[in-house]
Structure 1
Amino acid sequence: MMELKAIKIRVTTCIILVGVSLMLASVMSDYWAVMNPRVDDFSQPCEVAHFGLWRLCKKKILMEDTDGKSKPCGPISLPGETNCTYFKHFTSGENAKIFEVTTQKEYSISAAAIAIIGVGFMAMGMVCTLLSFKQKLDYLLKPAGLFFVFAGLCMIISAEVVRQSVHRMIDSKDTVWIYYYYSWSFACACSSFALLFICGIALVLISLPRMPRNPWESCMDAEPDM
């Protein structure tokens, strides 16, 4: 029974490591959302933008007119010159000012702050997990699971804040971006939430002591009185 429990803990921890990797990839990357303007003049390069929690990047792309109809700028995989600028709550810059006009500054600050809190929960969960394996402190698996659950919740909240900021940006009259879609960083954040939340709860449940199967089982296992 103990061997089966140890196997469950190892498998759950491996899946948590996948969630941690996805979480770090989403936090450090700049592809949460991609925004495109409408292109009518194909003789001039158009500008597509993508951003993460820390930076806004713009890429100038020269598109070819194939059917004479207006279309969104892109795709972003086309070659072009890229210029990235940190948001204004970290540093000043022209792109940051444009970003602040087209969306609420509080959105980007909130998303970044919540993600940092989630990374902190994730780090504490990893420390507890490593100590439980190295020092044989099994009772640390319960707080580790809870830390991973909180980290997953922080990531999904941060993703929702980013989603709201994108909608506010697209709806603003001051922006040229009309089309948008969520990219792989956003998908990593949502996937990390699912893995960390589910596996964190599973880790807590697995680490709980086994309930007695029969009413007299706990009495039989009790130590005799001296």
Structure 2
Amino acid sequence: MMMWSNFFMHEEDRRRRAHGARKARMTPEHEGKIKLALLLTSVGATLAVLAVGTEFWVELNTYRDNGSAVCDAAHLGLWKMCTKRLWQADVPAGRDTCGPAELPGEANCTYFKFFTTGEDAHIFQRTTKKEVNMAAAVIAVLGLAVMALGCLCIIMVLSKGAEFLLRVGAICFGLSGLLLLVSLEVFRHSVQALLQGVSPEPPPSPALTYEYSWSLGCGVGAGLVLILGSGSFFLLTLPPWPWGSLCPKWGHRAT
């Protein structure tokens, strides 16, 4: 028993020394740069979660000149759509269409059924193209998953000193940003397919206009910030010597 206890004590001591050596190789300046890049990517991560979780990606507006005191508008995202009946008096003067959708009114929000039962959604006598909508949602979720993996890699770098994961985290953040931008483009095609999917059955489909809203803007910002954060992590993985010829003072200080 004494032999095994000594063996485990020596093994634990060896691991502690190895861990301390790994941590010692990371200078406080380098660790500070990693934390600064992580702060940048955390902004992109927050915008990405906000964009994917909200339904203000696009607003659909009918025209006001319908001879009624109310008009209809709608806004939708990856998971849910909301139709709203607004009072004409609340619509800003000089606006030809109903909206914006943030105005108070009678709202009816429902989740898309094509994620559960496979049914298409119908908005203003128009039918969604579920395959395109589902593709946009799946790509966005995949982007969030890759982003979470990148965050885990950087946390391991800071907590365990595993600097080889810095490059892996950079790849994850860059791929996440690209996936979010691809999801936005696929969603744009789903909006075009919705506007063209006019139902031939009565009543006639109302004329519509559309405008992209703040959730989609958050998605664009998130994709760009994540790609910028990826580039920052990649720069931190480069050795200092290639820059010595361009910046002699900086290269001398780095050595």
Specify the TM-score bucket, using the shorter chain as the normaliser: 0.7 to 0.9
SS in structure 1 at match of 2:63: strand
Q: Partner of 2:133 in structure 1?
A: 108
Q: Partner of 1:179 in structure 2?
A: 209
| Bigger Cα displacement from structure 2, 75-84 vs 97-106 | 97-106
Q: Partner of 1:56 in structure 2?
A: 81
Q: Do residues 201 (structure 1) and 226 (structure 2) align?
A: no
Amino acid at match of 1:154: L
Q: Do residues 124 (structure 1) and 142 (structure 2) align?
A: no
Contact 2:150 2:173 in 1 (8 A): yes
Deviation at 1:53, TM superposition (A): 0.5
Q: Distance in 1 between matches of 2:128 and 2:120?
A: 12
Aligned length: 214
Q: Distance in 2 between matches of 1:156 and 1:150?
A: 10
* Alignment match of 2:168 (pick from 143, 147, 155): 143
* Alignment match of 2:104 (pick from 74, 79, 84): 79
Tell me the percent identity.
35
Q: Distance in 2 between matches of 1:116 and 1:99?
A: 28
**Unmatched 5+ residue regions in structure 2?**
1-25, 200-204, 246-255
In the TM superposition, structure 1's runs of 4+ consecutive aligned residues that sit over 6 Å from their partners are none
Q: Quickly say closer, same or farther: Cα 1:213–1:86, change in 2 above 3 A.
A: closer
| Bigger Cα displacement from structure 2, 71-80 vs 15-24 | 71-80
Q: Partner of 1:22 in structure 2?
A: 47
Structure number with greater Rg is 2
Deviation at 1:173, TM superposition (A): 3.3
CA RMSD of aligned residues (A): 2.9
Amino acid at match of 1:196: L
Amino acid at match of 1:183: S
Q: Partner of 1:220 in structure 2?
A: none
Amino acid at match of 1:188: C
Contact 1:42 1:63 in 2 (8 A): no
Deviation at 1:104, TM superposition (A): 1.5
Q: Partner of 2:33 in structure 1?
A: 8
Length-normalised TM-score, structure 2: 0.75
| Bigger Cα displacement from structure 2, 89-98 vs 139-148 | 89-98
SS in structure 2 at match of 1:138: coil
Q: Partner of 2:190 in structure 1?
A: 165
